[in-house]
Amino acid sequence: MHPDSPSSRLPAPGRRAVLGAAAASSALAALPGTASAAPDARKTPSRRKPRALPGGGDLGPNVLVFDPATPNIQGRLDEIFRQQESAQFGTGRYQLLFKPGTYHGLNAQIGFYTSISGLGLSPDDTTINGDITVDAGWFNGNATQNFWRSAENLAVVPVNGTNRWAVSQAAPFRRMHIRGNLNLAPTGYGWSSGGYIADSRIDGQVQPYSQQQWYTRDSAIGGWLNGVWNMVFSGVEGAPAQGFPNPPYTTLATTPVSREKPFLYLGGSEYRVFLPEKRTNARGVTWGNGTPRGTSLPLSRFYVAKPGVSAATLNQALAEGLHLLLTPGIYHLDRPVRVDRAGTVVLGLGYATLIPDNGVTALKVADVDGVRLAGFLVDAGPVNSATLLEIGPRGASRDHSANPTTVQDVFVRIGGAGPGKATTSMVVNSRHTIVDHTWVWRADHGDGVGWETNRADYGVVVNGHDVLATGLFVEHFNKYDVQWFGERGRTIFYQNEKAYDAPNQAAIQNGPVKGYAAYRVGDDVTAHEGWGLGSYCYYNVDPGIVQHHGFTAPNRPGVRFHDLLVVSLGGNGQYERVINDTGSPTSGTSTVPSTVVSYP
């Protein structure tokens, strides 16, 4: 790719690059698709019923499948990496699949929009004697823009005993077994702003170094080296003890409810999709004693979608009772994809990307049990969408506690790859929904970026009761980043940055309040709880902007927060309080968090 092309050009370092300066130094220091005949056949010719869509089929050209006998695996991996290393807003999408077996001497460097996965039922079915590497050479050792890549379902025996995974947002590490240490920082210990691990075993030590924040869920680790601002653990064997704010560890013995992400695997010679079962009060990995618990579906039960397919065809497949497997690429939608059937799976490979055209909503889920959405990106279009992703219709009220909907590694972006607008990005109306790792991002760099150019007032709005978020990353919205109106909501780990590009104090004024909170609990809510929540400000257009608080919630006994922090990055803007009128103001240019351990 030509170095001066828009998709390969390095963003100006003045935005996210500055974000980690103090963090690094402190770390190192420490389908109804059928049509019927018209009533009057004399006037309107009858329509033919659409031919049934086939299930299964090949996975397309951007899914690369390897086995131990495949020649020149390293050469193919290197070729994909050269294309994707700096293509932050490019159109390439790739899924790398490794059949069960043992591979030797590989270094799989993972660039943008690239997912690497094993095809066994257990990570230990597919062993790589080598490395799966994310580093930041493309951005001068700064890993704060290493987004949109993933690793899943593999065992890795690192060459030098330590595997490097230097990522920031939208880069999940799931069902991995590292037979050694895991280093989360780039070469040279530059800045980094991640991240997420789930259902993984790291035999050695996890070494965050400069990572500002991290969430680890339902895993087992040999040790954890350090923390910068906000390290959160739930259901992790070997996790460090609770210590917030010094050291900045928030540790829950178990995760209240979890259900691991669906994944593609080989049952004999047949592709299948495994659906892990729900766990309550979970701790440790799901695969430690052999075959994980759950059910599976043959690929013949899925419509294998290819880029260019219409929303009408996707909806026809759903109406015919098929699930959706979105192969890597970009899908333009002229109407919403409608998931109306209980138990439907929509699984993306290689960061398959949905772009709603003409202001439509990309995907809508009915108020039904057990829908699983996983592994895709929703990219706002240039015409404003009222919403981009809707989980349950307005007023949804059914009890889904036995079989909740899960939203996992589903990422939302407004701007960056070009102009995009959305009033609200993600709306959760269905009760008991589990949002397990999302990054909802109004872009602060790239193309189509500006206070009004990629206008997006609200990130995530939760109206449903009993919703659980595990690993919630929401950044840069023009008004509230998260608004939570449902009862008994819970969030374990939250990472936020307020919009960098607010032009002045008046632009963010919220009536008598200075600025919109990063996380707002509705005034009428009587029960809510959050653990390990952080908000940062970096008002680089007008560093004099004052944000009254990062969090706001009704002051009543049933609304409780644990381990909150706000940070001013280099003094570009300031917080007066942490939550409501509680907590100390941030301090000058020191980039030191102001914390509240318990509220109220």
3-class SS at 466? coil
Phi, psi of 314 (to 5 degrees): -60, -40
Do 230 and 495 form a contact (C-beta atoms < 8 A)? yes
Asked if 497 is an active-site residue, the reply is: yes
Considering Cα of 25, then 476, then 146, then 66, what sign does the dihedral take? positive
* Gap between the Cα atoms of 412 and 393, Å rounded: 19
Catalytic residue, chosen from 320, 497, 529, 576, is 497
- Taking only Cα atoms into account, the Rg of the chain, rounded to an integer number of angstroms, comes to 23
Do 516 and 256 form a contact (C-beta atoms < 8 A)? no
* Gap between the Cα atoms of 577 and 352, Å rounded: 40
Q: Look at the block and give the residue holding tokens 């009915």.
A: 366
Considering Cα of 310, then 382, then 375, then 89, what sign does the dihedral take? positive
3-state helix vs strand vs coil in the chain, percent to 5:
10, 40, 50
* Gap between the Cα atoms of 115 and 172, Å rounded: 10
* Gap between the Cα atoms of 454 and 456, Å rounded: 6
3-class SS at 22? helix
Integer CA distances (angstroms), 493 to 116, 213, 221, 559, in order = 25, 9, 19, 16
Integer CA distances (angstroms), 479 to 43, 65, 463, 508, in order = 53, 44, 17, 7
Token pair of 13 as six digits: 């370092």
Do 412 and 425 form a contact (C-beta atoms < 8 A)? yes
E strand spans, 463-558: 468-475, 482-484, 489-497, 519-521, 528-537, 546-547, 551-552
Do 421 and 391 form a contact (C-beta atoms < 8 A)? no
* Gap between the Cα atoms of 446 and 121, Å rounded: 39
Phi, psi of 125 (to 5 degrees): -70, -20
Token pair of 341 as six digits: 């059937």
Integer CA distances (angstroms), 35 to 48, 50, 104, in order = 7, 8, 55
* Gap between the Cα atoms of 401 and 407, Å rounded: 15
**Amino acid identity at 187:** T
Q: Which residues pair with 510 in a beta bridge?
A: 513
Integer CA distances (angstroms), 150 to 139, 146, 213, 384, 459, in order = 19, 11, 18, 29, 23
Integer CA distances (angstroms), 185 to 136, 210, 222, 404, 573, in order = 9, 6, 18, 35, 27
Catalytic residues: 497
